Amino acid sequence: MRNKASAVLLGAALALAASGAAYAQDKTVKIGVLTDNSGLYADLGGPGSTVAAQMAIEDSGMAAKGWKLDLISADHQNKPDIGTSIARQWIDVEKVDVLMDVLNSGVALAVNNVVKEKNNLMINSGAATSDLTNAQCSPNTVHWTYDTYMLAHSTGQALVKAGGDTWYFLTADYAFGAALERDTTAVVLANGGKVVGTVKHPLNTADFSSFLLQAQASKAKIIGMANAGGDTTNTIKQAAEFGIVSGGQKLAGLLLFISDVHSLGLPVAQGLNLSATFYWDANDQTREFSKRFSERMKTKSKPTMVQAGVYAGLLHYFKALEALGGNPHDGAKVADKMKEIPTDDTLFGKGMIQPNGRAIHPAYLFEVKKPSESKYPWDYYKLIGTTPAEQAFRPLAESTCPLLKK
Amino acid sequence: MSINLQALMAQLLVGLINGSFYALLSLGLAVIFGMLNIINFAHGAVYMMGAFCAYFLLNVMGIGYWPALIIAPIVVGIFGMILERTMLQWLAGLDHLYGLLLTFGMALIIQGVFQNYFGSSGLPYAIPAELQGGMNLGFMFLPIYRGWVVICSLIVCLATWFLIERTRLGANLRAATENPTLVRAFGINVPRMITLTYGLGVGLAALAGVLSAPINQVRPLMGADLIIVVFAVVVIGGMGSIMGSIITGFALGIVEGLTKYFYPEASNTVVFVLMVLVLLVKPSGLTGRTT
C-alpha cells in the first residue's frame, strides 16, 4: 500500500515539475470578455468591448511571434449570480486566462472574488466602483479605465468650485450608485458644500419624473446623477421636460459616456460637464483607432472609454506575457508583471499600475458642445481641464487596500 | 416622515401620467386575451416598434408627431395582423402556454434585431413644438406634453371600451369568442374579425409607444422593461376585463407614484406585491370573471 501511495505521489510530483517547466514555452492564451451584451449598458461596453479585444489581439502582432490567442465572450445580463457562474465555468472548464471588461460594479465585485479564489486575472474596464482597488482590492485584479473616485474628484470638484455648493443625489440603487454617491459626497463636503438630500431609484427605471420632482423641491443647486447608461439619459431628457435646468438647477452627469451623449443628441445634452479618461477625437492616434473601430461596429459608433480600456488593458497584458516569455496560467504572477512595466499606449498615454491594481492615467474634464459648435459627426466634447495621472485617482496613502500593508 | 401636501399632489399626478401608459398597454393585452385567448408577450416589442416607427417617420420621411400618432399604430397593426395570419392563428384552441411561448419568442427576436442595428442606448425624439413647455400648477410644474398623454390615453381607452362593450361590432366580436361556429353560421367572417382584433390590440400598444417616444429614449428594450409590470396590471385587473384593465392601469400608476415618494427603493416591486395580495384574495383579479 505504502509503496503504491508513494508511487502516486512521485508521479504527481513529476507531473507538477513537468508542467512547471512547460509553462515557459506555453504560448496559448484564452481571453474572455464578460459584459452586458443585451441590456442597458450594451452600448458602452457590450459587443464593442469584444471588437476592441479582437483589435488588440490583431494589433499586438502576438500571432506572428508564435502565440495562439483565443477570444470568447458572454453576456452577464447585469446579474452578479450569472456573472460569477460564467466566470467559474470559464476558469474551470474553458481554461480562460483573463477576464476583460466586466462592467457593472455589482457583477465586478462578485467576479472579483471568484477570480481571486481561482488565482485567475481580471482586467476590469467598465465597472466604476473604486472599491475594486480599495477595500476589496485583489492581487488578481487590475482596474483600468476609470473609477468613482476619479469621477467624483474631476466632475464633482469642478462643479463645487464653480459655485454649486448644495447637492441632491439621484442614485442608482446598487453597488455602483452607492459608491459614486459616497465618493462624490466626500468631495462636496471637503470643498465646503453640503448634500441636502438623496433618492435611490431602482436600476433600469423608465420614468424619473417622481424623483425629479423631489430633486426640484429640494432647491439644491446641483442635482448629481449617480447613475449610468439608459438611466442617465432618461433622467436628463425628463429633467429638460420638467424645466429643471431652466429653473436654475444644474444637472451633474457624474458618469456620462459618449454613447449617452450621442443618444441624447446635442440639443438636450449641451452644456453638461463630464469626466473621462479617453475621448476618440483627442489626437491622431485615438482618431485612427476609433475610425477602425467604428468601421467594425454595426451601429458605426465611436468607442467609449470602456471599450478603449479593454483594448489598452489587453495590450498591456500581452506586454507582460511577452516579458514572462510564456503564459504561466497564474493570474497574480501576470498581474505583478503588469504592475512592474509602466503603461504606455496610444489611447491612454503614459501611466502605471499601482500595487493595489489601479491603473492611473490623466483624466479629462469635458463640456458637451452646443449644436452650433459641432462640426462633424460625433464632434461632441470640448476639453476644459486635465488632471495629471497622479492626482486623478485615489492616492495610495488614503487607500485601505490590504495589499498595501506589508 | 413629514408629509408635504404639495409634494404628495405632484406625485399623484405623476402617477396618473404613468398610469396612462399602463392603461393603454394593459387595455391592448386585455382585448387580445379576451377575444383571442392569447397571452400576448410580444406586446412590449410592438410598443417599442411604435416608438421606432415614429422615429423613422420623422427622421427618414420627415413626417412629424401628429401624423405619426395615426400612421405608426396602423403600420405596426398591419405587422401584427401578418403575425396573426402567419403564426398565431394556428394556435387557436391550444393551451395558453403555446401562444405565450410563441409571442415571447417573437418579442425576443424583434428586440434582438432592433438592438443589433440600433444599439441599446436609444435614439432621440423631441417633444412636438406645440406641446413643449409647461405650466405651473402651484404644487408642481406640469409639462404640457404629460398632460396631453393623460387626456389622449383616457379618450382612446374609453373609445375602445365603447367599441367592444357597446357597439354591434363589439357584440359580434364577443359572440365570436364565445361560440365561433354559431357566429359563422350568421355569415360573419370570424377569422378576419380575429385578425383585425389582434391588429387593434397591437395598434394600441404602438400608439402608447408613439406617446412615450418624446418622454423616454426610443430604445429597443423600452418595452421589455415595461411589459412585466403591465402583465401584473392585467392580472390584478382580471384577465380579459376591458374596464378592469383601464381602471387598474391608472390606479397602479398612482400607487407606484406614491411608492416613489415614500419608499423609492421599492417602486419597481410594489406592483408585484399588490399582485400577490390580489391573487391570494381574489384569484380571478379585481374585476375578472371566473372562467
A93-122 residue pLDDT tens: 999 999 999 999 999 999 999 999 999 999
Type of residue found at A19: S
> What is the per-residue pLDDT for B291?
47
Inter-chain residue contact A43 with B119, CB threshold 8 Å: yes
Taking a contact as any Cβ pair under 8 Å apart, which residues of chain B between 226 and 265 contact chain A?
Answer: 226, 257, 260-261, 264-265
Q: Which residues pair with A368 in a beta bridge?
A: A381
Q: Are residue A317 and residue A387 in the same domain, yes or no?
A: no
* Average pLDDT of every residue of chain B: 89
Domain assignment present for residue A13? The answer is: no
Which of chain B's residues have a Cβ under 8 Å away from the Cβ of A212? none
Region A275-295: mean pLDDT is 96
- Is residue A16 a part of any domain in this protein? no
Q: Is residue A404 part of a domain?
A: no
User: Angle between the A305-324 and A284-296 helix axes, to the nearest 10 degrees?
Assistant: 100
End-of-domain residue from the set A361, A381, A401:
A361
Q: Which of B113, B120, B148, B225 best tests the A interface by mutation, with the highest count of A CBs <10 A?
A: B120
Would the CB atoms of A230 and B217 count as touching at under 8 Å? yes
Contacts of A41 in chain B (CB under 8 A): 120
The reply to whether residue B225 touches residue A41, judged by beta carbons under 8 angstroms, is: no
Q: Is B195 helix (H, G, I), strand (E, B) or coil?
A: helix
Q: Which CATH number goes with the domain that contains B161?
A: 1.10.3470
CATH of the domain at A122: 3.40.50.2300
- The pLDDT tens digits along chain B (291 residues) read 456 777 788 888 889 998 999 999 999 998 888 888 888 999 999 999 999 999 999 999 999 999 999 999 999 999 999 999 999 888 877 888 899 999 999 999 999 999 888 888 788 888 898 888 888 887 788 889 999 999 999 999 999 999 988 999 889 888 888 888 888 898 888 889 889 999 999 999 999 999 999 988 898 988 987 888 898 988 888 877 888 889 999 999 999 988 988 888 888 889 999 999 999 998 888 876 654
Q: Which domain holds residue A372?
A: 149-276+363-392
Q: What SS3 string covers chain A?
A: CHHHHHHHHHHHHHHHHHHHHHCCCCCEEEEEEEECCCCCCCCCCHHHHHHHHHHHHHHHCCHHHCCEEEEEEEECCCCHHHHHHHHHHHHHHHCCCEEEECCCHHHHHHHHHHHHHCCCCEEECCCCCHHHHCCCCCCCEEECCCCHHHHHHHHHHHHHHCCCCEEEEEEECCHHHHHHHHHHHHHHHHCCCEEEEEEEECCCCCCCHHHHHHHHHCCCCEEEEECCCHHHHHHHHHHHHCCCCCCCCEEEECCCCHHHHHHHCHHHHCCCEEEECCCCCCCHHHHHHHHHHHHHCCCCCCCCHHHHHHHHHHHHHHHHHHHHCCCCCCHHHHHHHHHHCCEEECCCEEEEECCCCEEECCEEEEEECCHHHCCCCCCCEEEEEEECHHHHCCCHHHCCCHHHCC
Q: What is the pLDDT of residues A6-33, one digit of tens each?
A: 555 555 554 544 444 445 578 999 999 9
Per-residue pLDDT band at A1 (split at 50, 70, 90): very low
For residue B108, the chain A residue with the least C-alpha distance is A38
Q: Which domain holds residue B150?
A: 5-281
- Cβ of B100 under 8 Å from any chain A Cβ? no
* Whether A217 and A188 share a structural domain: yes
Cβ of residue B18 closer than 8 Å to a chain A Cβ: yes
Residue A406 has pLDDT above 60, yes or no: no
Say what the pLDDT of residue A12 is: 53
Q: Please indicate whether, in this complex, the C-beta atoms of B226 and A39 are within 8 angstroms of each other.
A: no
Q: Is B214 helix (H, G, I), strand (E, B) or coil?
A: coil
Whether residue B289 is contained in a domain is answered as no
Q: Which of B239, B278, B253, B243 is nearest to B29 (CA)?
A: B239
> Does residue A406 form part of some domain?
no
In a domain, A397, yes or no: no
What local confidence, expressed as pLDDT, does residue B162 receive? Answer: 93
Q: What is the pLDDT of residues A319-375, one digit of tens each?
A: 999 999 999 999 999 999 999 999 999 999 999 999 999 999 999 999 999 999 999
Cβ-Cβ contacts under 8 Å between A and B: the total is: 121
Closest listed residue to residue B228, CA positions, set B274, B272, B198, B282: B272
Looking at the structure of chain A, the number of domains it has is 2
Give the distance from residue A173's alpha carbon to the nearest chain B alpha carbon, in angstroms. 7
B43 near A CB under 8 A: no
What amino acid is encoded at A342 in this protein? P
Answer yes or no: do A259 and A306 share one domain.
Answer: no
Q: How far is the C-alpha of B287 from the C-alpha of B285, rounded, in Å?
A: 6
In tens, the pLDDT along B73-129 reads: 999 999 999 999 999 888 877 888 899 999 999 999 999 999 888 888 788 888 898
Q: How many domains does chain B have?
A: 1
Assigned domain for A19 exists: no
Q: Are B173 and B35 a contacting pair, CB within 8 Å?
A: yes
Q: Is B93 on the interface with A (CB under 8 A)?
A: no
Phi/psi of residue A252, nearest 5 degrees = -115, 110
Residue B244 has a pLDDT of: 87
Confidence of residue A310 (pLDDT cuts 50, 70, 90): very high
Say how far apart CA A45 and CA A12 lie, in whole Å: 43
Residues in chain B, how many? Answer: 291
